[in-house]
Structure 1
Amino acid sequence: MRYIGSKLKQLRHDLGLTQTEMAAGVISVSFYSKVERGYHDIGAEELIEILQKHNISFQEFFSGISKEDANNKRVNILLRKFVKAANVDDDTEINNIISEIENIKPRTPFVKSEILLTKLIANTHDEDALRKLNEKEKREIKKIIFQEDTDENEYIRIAMIANTIRVYSFDEASFLISSIIRRYKDVDKIEGKLLLAISAAMTNFINWCFENGKANLCVKAIKYLKALPNTVELAFTKILVEYYESLIKGKFDDVKLIRNLFTRAGYGTFVNKMVDKYNKP
């Protein structure tokens, strides 16, 4: 018992997670805490599920993962938190996450690229910041997104598209979203982190279309999101799809209900960015 518990504790520290984050809803936090301290045993199924939640193989867990691999996995966890913080304009959390990534040593090329990514998004994640960009700065963002260095990491590319979608014209944005849909049509085969980035790109595009009375341009994006797996990680996205469909169908009681639900859950800033009426094209 103590061996498994100590291995889990070391892995949790390497990934920079709290006990709540490490337990990942698989077992209770109190039970997990006792596993780390050797007071409780953990079943094989629960252990495997916890490891899968953090993209750790059984072999890696028992043989040990390298410092670089642990750092890369930690960065990926921080990036998922970062995308959520950027979507709700939580500047405090954004800056905290950037600081955490900057403190990761050694600074491998991967870590450096993620620092650049998060800083770029931090400076462009809200509508006010994007409006202040001049044409030269917009061209630079597009260049960064499509330069050769980002071809190897599609997650970075799509996360950047998600958070800078308003840099593009509607024609450009529609083309990008359609390209993503075509490339990732087999939704059941998409890795979890990438799926979250894709869903963020779709929802940001949909909201932008609704704001400008161009909801007809986002029909494919809505259909794509509806086809995504019904997982806990995508619950927020699935509720948003219901929100936009309720707008289109004129179900304003449902629209109000969903807005209130998000507000009560602490997403008031995000709610303020959501359109509340359907401007037909």
Structure 2
Amino acid sequence: MTIGEALKEMQKELGLTGKEMAAGIITTGTYSRVIHGTRRISSDLLIKLLLKHNIDLSYFFDKVSDTYMPPSNRLEQKLSSQFGLAFNNHDIVAAVTTFEQIKKANVSIHFKKRVQIAVAFLTKTTDDLDNKFKKSIIDDLNKDSNWIFNIQALLLFATSFEILPIEFVEKKMVFFFNKISRSKNISEIMKERFAIICVNYLHWKYSQTIGLNGKIGIIGANVVNAINYLQSLESTTHFIIYIISAKYYSALFSGNLTRAKQIKENLLDMGCTLMVKNWPL
């Protein structure tokens, strides 16, 4: 869908005339030419129009992303959704088949590495990943001093806990919390990416802290910081699963397994299986 087509659709949804939609920001004639694709609109004026009518920016740009997104990004997004569905359903055959497509596709190397790790995790073959591959992950994360704001690097780190040295993970998490504690005006989508890092870290850390006797070992500041970050998120529908996960992991690390199981079972009973199904216990 083009920008003009999306504007026309928004106009119809809002029940406005062309003149009302133009709102004096652009002329009615200019607006007509924009929605018919015979004239472009500047980014400044487009944003003004959207905000004038209280149109959600993410919602609008989701509509037009397929039209303006580079082909390689579009392909990566499609394959990512395809692989994510297979992974969340624990469908090993579909996951491996999609991975074979990804290896041959014109997509980012970080994406290929993430999927390779995910397949190894799904097939319980992470120990078979060679040291050269593991070192390449470490090198990727070390070469960018601002990696927590590099989306590809951030996603790579979120996927890689299982194959990285424990000391490396802990140092990166210390850096992670120091960095975000000093950052202001973080977007909602970045807050969610940070939340995913925290949830993945807590999942990984729990398996690291359980001793042979089943007792929880030393927890450490990173666990506390991860739980605190999740608890600090705004109480919105968008973040509710992460806030609940903070309660779950807080119970888990404090040894209150009955409480943790209750939270997980309640979420599964309500159909929240996508992330919850992979929680410990």
- Cα distance change, pair 167–152 in 1 and its aligned pair in 2 (3 A): closer
Question: Would you say the 8 A contact 1:98–1:119 is kept in 2?
Answer: no
Q: Hey, what does 1:274 align to over in structure 2? A: 279
- Cα distance change, pair 66–212 in 1 and its aligned pair in 2 (3 A): closer
> How far is 1:263 from its partner?
2.5
Question: Cα deviation per residue 1:78-99 (whole Å; 9 max; x = unaligned)?
Answer: 6996897598465558977997
1:195-214 matches, within 5 Å, as 195-213=191-209, 214=218
> How far is 1:244 from its partner?
0.8
Q: Does 1:138 align with 2:142?
A: no
Query: Aligned AA for 1:48?
Result: N
> How far is 1:212 from its partner?
2.0
Which of the residues 111, 115, 135 maps onto 1:122? 115
> How far is 1:157 from its partner?
0.9
> How far is 1:188 from its partner?
5.9
Question: Would you say the 8 A contact 1:82–1:94 is kept in 2?
Answer: no
- Cα distance change, pair 152–206 in 1 and its aligned pair in 2 (3 A): closer
Question: Would you say the 8 A contact 2:202–2:223 is kept in 1?
Answer: yes
1:183-194 matches, within 5 Å, as 183-185=179-181, 189-194=185-190
> How far is 1:248 from its partner?
3.4
Query: What TM-score do you get using the length of structure 2 for normalisation?
Result: 0.62
Query: What TM-score do you get using the length of structure 1 for normalisation?
Result: 0.62
Bigger CA drift: 246-255 or 147-156?
147-156
Which of the residues 15, 22, 41 maps onto 1:41? 15
Q: Hey, what does 2:24 align to over in structure 1? A: none
1:214-225 matches, within 5 Å, as 214-216=218-220, 217-225=222-230
Question: Would you say the 8 A contact 1:85–1:94 is kept in 2?
Answer: no
Q: Hey, what does 1:22 align to over in structure 2? A: none
Question: Would you say the 8 A contact 2:158–2:200 is kept in 1?
Answer: yes
Bigger CA drift: 136-145 or 263-272?
263-272
Q: What is the distance in 1 between the residues matched to 2:272 and 2:98?
A: 19
> What is the DSSP-based 3-state SS (H/G/I as helix, E as strand, rest coil) of the residue aligned with 2:235?
coil
Query: Aligned AA for 1:232?
Result: T
Of structures 1 and 2, the one with the larger relative CO (CA 8 A, separation 6+) is 1
Question: Would you say the 8 A contact 1:246–1:255 is kept in 2?
Answer: yes
Q: Does 1:230 align with 2:235?
A: yes
> How far is 1:163 from its partner?
0.5
> What is the DSSP-based 3-state SS (H/G/I as helix, E as strand, rest coil) of the residue aligned with 2:224?
helix
Query: Aligned AA for 1:215?
Result: I
- Cα distance change, pair 124–239 in 1 and its aligned pair in 2 (3 A): same
Question: Would you say the 8 A contact 1:196–1:234 is kept in 2?
Answer: yes
Structure 2 unmatched ranges of 5 or more: 22-49, 210-217
Q: What is the distance in 1 between the residues matched to 2:195 and 2:241?
A: 10
> How far is 1:272 from its partner?
5.1
> How far is 1:218 from its partner?
1.3
Q: Does 1:244 align with 2:249?
A: yes
* Structure with bigger gyration radius: 2
Q: What is the distance in 2 between the residues matched to 1:148 and 1:66?
A: 29
1:1-281 matches, within 5 Å, as 6-8=5-7, 38=12, 41=15, 48-53=54-59, 68=68, 88=88, 92=94, 112-113=107-108, 116-125=109-118, 126=121, 128-147=124-143, 154-185=150-181, 189-213=185-209, 214-216=218-220, 217-266=222-271, 268=273, 270-271=275-276, 273-276=278-281
